[in-house]
């Protein structure tokens, strides 16, 4: 008789954004015709840019001719894309990363969920609180956590690093020593960035304690301030202790197209075992590569026209971020994020809990956001709005919130 992976049974409820989608669907069904503005999940709304569309069309045409047709992609990604990534995302910023350290995939979410496979089942993970739920849930599924305490919202055997107003939403080094440290900067959900000095503290700590940093830089394109590192590899020593995960979703709008990559430097070794070789083995066995046409679209993001078009998308969303942030502040809300990030992190008004505010906003303003408590206990009393809506919807949402 077969048995299931019991770890799945430990997971409470459904995935955060599925829960929200279900709640909104139920509300819409009960209130047909009510206009809803969705500023919940961080999904983009602007169409793919001209250079990306051109690249897609031409790659589709290539696939239709015998002489240019492509079958399976190389499992680590096409060289044309890995070279463009290494050159533009790393070497141009002084980071020593080569194409053979880049693994192209169908997105950062999958990579951030799968990367834990490289580590021992009894590895201790450290996560920020609040945190992007994928890091914790994927470790729960792998049996790397204890049990969930519904009273506290914490898992046993996980090191939580509180991110609060008091520490500017940047975690302090933990007292207990972890094996794996998940960091996301610019941060989802709080919208906070980290300075080079603070990130250097983490790299030093990881090296001193024999830990690996899994650095999620999916929102890197939104960095606008000096002294905010775009990559963990801007920090000396990071090649020996950090894996970085990147996405084409948030910068180039590929949420529906799917493309991302993970950097596993050759210097990241556990004894004489190369994690780069392990991840290559994993890709070879479990993955057949992102589609050629999508990788061509990804490469188009690194041409001069492609880069300019992405700057345009980011500027559009950052205008929304500024508008939402300044608007909320003028209505008396306490607001964070929105400077190096498309996420606005606000304190719920009148002592409402995060989920109470979610319901209140949906029912009274028809605006959907994400309850901070959904990201962890220290998110309680906070609420996340995304700047990924249209400008018109961002303004309309503000008007509705003002009228509450
Ligand atoms: C979010 O809303 O936090 C993101 O859309 C999640 C994701 O990119 O998977």
Q: Best of 41, 343, 385 to mutate for ligand 1, by most ligand atoms within 8 A of CB?
A: 41
Query: What pLDDT, on the 0 to 100 scale, is given for residue 14?
Result: 81
Residue 113 Cα to ligand 1 middle (Å): 13
79 burial via Cβ count (<10 Å: 0-12, 13-18, 19+): exposed
Atom in ligand 1 nearest the alpha carbon of residue 255 = 8
For atom 1 of ligand 1, which residue has the closest CA? 42
For atom 5 of ligand 1, which residue has the closest CA? 42
Residue 382 Cα to ligand 1 middle (Å): 17
User: Phi and psi at residue 349, in whole multiples of 5°?
Assistant: -80, 160
Query: What pLDDT, on the 0 to 100 scale, is given for residue 306?
Result: 98
Find the residues whose C-beta lies inside 6 A of ligand 1: 41-43, 109, 132, 188
Query: What pLDDT, on the 0 to 100 scale, is given for residue 20?
Result: 93
Q: Pseudo-torsion of CA 247, 386, 22, 367, nearest 10°?
A: -160
8 A C-beta contact, residue 218 and residue 207: no
Atom in ligand 1 nearest the alpha carbon of residue 370 = 2
Q: How far apart are CA 212 and CA 207, in angstroms?
A: 8
Query: Distance of CA 128 to CAs 161, 244, 327, Å?
Result: 5, 16, 28
Residue 375 Cα to ligand 1 middle (Å): 11
- Sequence length of the chain is 404
Q: How far apart are CA 279 and CA 264, in angstroms?
A: 8
Longest alpha-carbon distance in the chain: 66
Query: What pLDDT, on the 0 to 100 scale, is given for residue 189?
Result: 98
Residue 249 Cα to ligand 1 middle (Å): 10
Residue 270 Cα to ligand 1 middle (Å): 31
For atom 9 of ligand 1, which residue has the closest CA? 109
Stated as kind and residue range, the H or E segment containing 114 is helix 108-114
Q: How far apart are CA 323 and CA 390, in angstroms?
A: 12
Residue 40 Cα to ligand 1 middle (Å): 9
Domains observed in the chain: 11-47+305-402 (3.90.1150.10), 53-302 (3.40.640.10)
Q: Best of 42, 254, 371, 372 to mutate for ligand 1, by most ligand atoms within 8 A of CB?
A: 42
Atom in ligand 1 nearest the alpha carbon of residue 386 = 2
The DSSP symbol for 304 reads H
Q: Best of 109, 134, 186 to mutate for ligand 1, by most ligand atoms within 8 A of CB?
A: 109
pTM: 0.97
The two structure tokens encoding residue 25:
């669907």
For atom 4 of ligand 1, which residue has the closest CA? 42
Q: Best of 18, 43, 247 to mutate for ligand 1, by most ligand atoms within 8 A of CB?
A: 43
pLDDT tens by residue, the chain, 404 residues: 999 999 999 998 888 889 999 999 999 999 999 999 999 999 999 999 999 999 999 999 999 999 999 999 998 999 999 999 999 999 999 999 999 999 999 999 999 999 999 999 999 999 999 999 999 999 999 999 999 999 999 999 999 999 999 999 999 999 999 999 999 999 999 999 999 999 999 999 999 999 999 999 999 999 999 999 999 999 999 999 999 999 999 999 999 999 999 999 999 999 999 999 999 999 999 999 999 999 999 999 999 999 999 999 999 999 999 999 999 999 999 999 999 999 999 999 999 999 999 999 999 999 999 999 999 999 999 999 999 999 999 999 999 999 99
Q: How far apart are CA 214 and CA 216, in angstroms?
A: 6
Residue 62 Cα to ligand 1 middle (Å): 33
The residues, any chain, with a CB within 8 Å of residue 336's CB and separated by 6 or more, are: 165, 169, 190, 191, 192, 344, 345, 346
Residue 43 Cα to ligand 1 middle (Å): 7
Atom in ligand 1 nearest the alpha carbon of residue 250 = 8
Query: What pLDDT, on the 0 to 100 scale, is given for residue 75?
Result: 87
Residue 149 Cα to ligand 1 middle (Å): 25
Residue 163 Cα to ligand 1 middle (Å): 19
């Amino acid at each position: 008789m077969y048995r299931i992976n019991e770890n799945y049974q430990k997971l409470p409820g459904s995935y955060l954004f599925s829960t929200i989608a279900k709640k909104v669907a139920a509300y819409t069904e009960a209130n047909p015709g009510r206009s809803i503005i969705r500023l919940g999940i961080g999904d983009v709304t602007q169409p793919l840019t001209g250079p990306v569309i051109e690249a897609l069309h031409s790659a589709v045409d290539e696939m239709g001719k015998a002489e240019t047709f492509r079958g399976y992609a190389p499992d680590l990604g096409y060289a044309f894309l890995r070279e463009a990534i290494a050159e533009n995302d790393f070497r141009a910023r002084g980071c020593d990363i080569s194409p053979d350290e880049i693994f192209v995939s169908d997105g950062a979410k999958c990579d951030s969920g799968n990367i834990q496979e490289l580590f021992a089942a009894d590895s201790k993970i450290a996560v920020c609180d609040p945190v992007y739920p994928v890091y914790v849930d994927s470790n729960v599924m792998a049996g790397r956590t204890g049990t969930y305490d519904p009273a506290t919202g914490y898992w046993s055997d996980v090191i939580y690093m509180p991110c609060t107003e008091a520490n500017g939403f940047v975690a302090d080094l933990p007292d207990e020593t972890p094996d794996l440290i998940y960091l996301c900067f610019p941060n989802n959900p709080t919208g906070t960035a980290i300075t080079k000095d603070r990130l250097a503290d983490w790299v030093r700590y990881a090296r001193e304690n024999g830990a690996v940093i899994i650095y999620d830089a999916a929102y890197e394109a939104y960095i606008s301030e000096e002294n905010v590192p775009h990559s963990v590899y801007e920090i000396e020593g990071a090649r020996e202790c950090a894996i970085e995960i990147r996405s084409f979703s948030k910068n180039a709008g590929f949420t529906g197209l799917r493309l991302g990559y993970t950097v596993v430097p050759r210097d990241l070794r556990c004894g004489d075992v190369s994690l780069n070789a392990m991840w290559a083995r994993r890709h070879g066995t479990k993955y057949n590569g992102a589609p050629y046409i999508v990788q061509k679209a990804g490469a188009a993001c690194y041409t001069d026209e492609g880069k300019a078009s992405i700057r345009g998308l980011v500027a559009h969303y950052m205008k929304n971020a500024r508008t939402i942030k300044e608007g909320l502040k003028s209505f008396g809300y306490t607001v964070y994020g929105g400077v190096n990030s498309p996420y606005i992190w606000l304190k719920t008004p009148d002592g409402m809990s995060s989920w109470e505010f979610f319901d209140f906003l949906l029912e009274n303003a028809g605006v959907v956001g994400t309850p901070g408590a959904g990201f962890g206990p220290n998110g309680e009393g906070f609420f996340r709005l995304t700047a990924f809506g249209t400008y018109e919807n961002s303004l309309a949402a503000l008007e509705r919130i003002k009228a509450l």
